[in-house]
Structure 1
Amino acid sequence: SVSFAFKAGDGLYSTFECRTVDTLLVFGSNGRVYSVPVAALPGARGDGQPVTTLIELESGTQVLHYFAGPASAALLLSSSGGYGFLATVESMVSRNKSGKAFISLGEGETVCRPSHAQGSTSAQPLLPATHVACASTGGRILTFEISELKQMDKGGRGLMLIDLEPKDALAGAAAYTRSVRIEGIGRGGKAREETLEIRSLNNARAARARKGKAADLGFKPTGITRVE
């Protein structure tokens, strides 16, 4: 096994099994997407390299999310305002270090974690997702068929995923076939998570852009990821 040392305050975001012909996508807080060829990344023997040396972030912009995979992979992209769409990795690749404007955000909105919807990597067979699960920070869950979404390879705001109450926000949206994991914060600031299987997800099924159902999670959702 291999262990990695992190600087104080740092931690692991995620790991991606990929090939040197694949692309690393970097998602900024301003809705821009930056791309780095996986072949350009340093090997695992050293301490790595700050991603900010590989891309040109706009002043005041933070890196929020990452994804690495083949050009044909499709991602579900969403914003805290409750909107989202599908796009391929290939469509987000830019030759410029300054990236490309891709996810349109309203005032005060942020980019949610991208969800791998389709397109296997060489090491990870992945069934094409059939449904989408949305989780709001207020604890509402909505699921619907992924066919209700549009693929927008030029980016944009997308379609409304969930109808949010005025003070609610989308914690995240995940493409799935059978199960998702909801992460959040419970009492005393403790990290919590719960996996929802197909029966629970089907109970929250409706059409896209509905309000969803209140979920008895016992914690405030902060994100959602695909399990299967």
Structure 2
Amino acid sequence: MRSRSTHQVAFLDSEGRAYSTAVHTLPSARGNGEPLTGRFSPASGAAFQVMASADNATRFVLASSHGYGFVTRFENLTGRNKAGKAMLNLTTGAHVLTPAQVTNPQSDRIVAVTSAGNLLAVTASDVPELDKGKGNKIIDIPKAKLGTERVVAVVAVAPGNTLLVRSGARTMSLSFKDLDSYVGARASRGALLPRGWQKVDGLEVQ
């Protein structure tokens, strides 16, 4: 993750609460770092899971491993409360996925992939923009499979970008046009990736 000293950095915990601090107050890379619990007061049992940093107007898609999510501005992740602020409402057993930056909601595609190898691309504007909440279903996981199947990653792909699908030590590249084969209605199941690529470890955008 890249950031600037003038930005805030936000952290989300396992209960979907957001915490933030100024980047310039963090220890330098040469030090040993410091525990986030020295700055924030998460609930007992909560663990910090993901982070993001940008200027206040930058949009991110926040999503859970159960397939629900929404688009929000970075400023909504920031605040002064050491106990954090409620941000992403999680269903039982779900965890927070790494926030993905959205460049243009009108042209970007939000892409989600499940642990079963189902990949779905939807126009970013089809995903609601909220200040906080549960969001809407981005990709469908049948209720009967929620215990064993999960969303591995959600990213935003702009025209001209390439989606990298990570599977073990291998990487498959999908252009924006290649994603046409996976475009579908929000909350649908998506299409299966090719045989041999259905065990996805993560997604990356270049």
Runs of 4+ in structure 1 over 6 Å off: none
Give 3-state SS (helix, strand or coil) of 2:76's partner. helix
Q: Any unmatched runs of 5+ in structure 2?
A: none
In the TM superposition, what is the alpha-carbon distance from 1:180 to its structure 2 partner?
1.9
1:159 maps to 2:140: no
In the TM superposition, what is the alpha-carbon distance from 1:199 to its structure 2 partner?
3.2
In the TM superposition, what is the alpha-carbon distance from 1:39 to its structure 2 partner?
2.1
RMSD over aligned CA atoms reads 2.0
In the TM superposition, what is the alpha-carbon distance from 1:160 to its structure 2 partner?
0.9
1:218 maps to 2:197: yes
Match of 2:47 in 1: 62
Match of 1:23 in 2: 8
Match of 2:82 in 1: 97
Give 3-state SS (helix, strand or coil) of 2:180's partner. helix
| CA deviation string 1:109-138 (max 9, x = no partner) | 11111101139xxxxxxx986111110111
In the TM superposition, what is the alpha-carbon distance from 1:44 to its structure 2 partner?
2.9
| CA deviation string 1:84-131 (max 9, x = no partner) | 100111111111111111101111111111101139xxxxxxx98611
Give identity over the alignment, percent. 28
In the TM superposition, what is the alpha-carbon distance from 1:191 to its structure 2 partner?
4.8
Give 3-state SS (helix, strand or coil) of 1:221's partner. coil
The 8 Å contact of residues 117 and 129 in structure 1, kept in 2 or not, is answered as no
**Paired letter, 2:154:** A
In the TM superposition, what is the alpha-carbon distance from 1:68 to its structure 2 partner?
1.5
Q: TM-score, normalised by structure 1?
A: 0.80
Q: How many equivalent pairs are there? A: 199
The 8 Å contact of residues 33 and 99 in structure 1, kept in 2 or not, is answered as yes
Q: TM-score, normalised by structure 2?
A: 0.88
In the TM superposition, what is the alpha-carbon distance from 1:169 to its structure 2 partner?
1.7
| CA deviation string 1:145-170 (max 9, x = no partner) | 111011101x1111110121331221
Match of 1:169 in 2: 150
The 8 Å contact of residues 64 and 111 in structure 1, kept in 2 or not, is answered as yes
The 8 Å contact of residues 106 and 124 in structure 2, kept in 1 or not, is answered as no
Instruction: Name the CA distance, whole Å, in 2 between partners of 1:159 and 1:46.
Output: 41
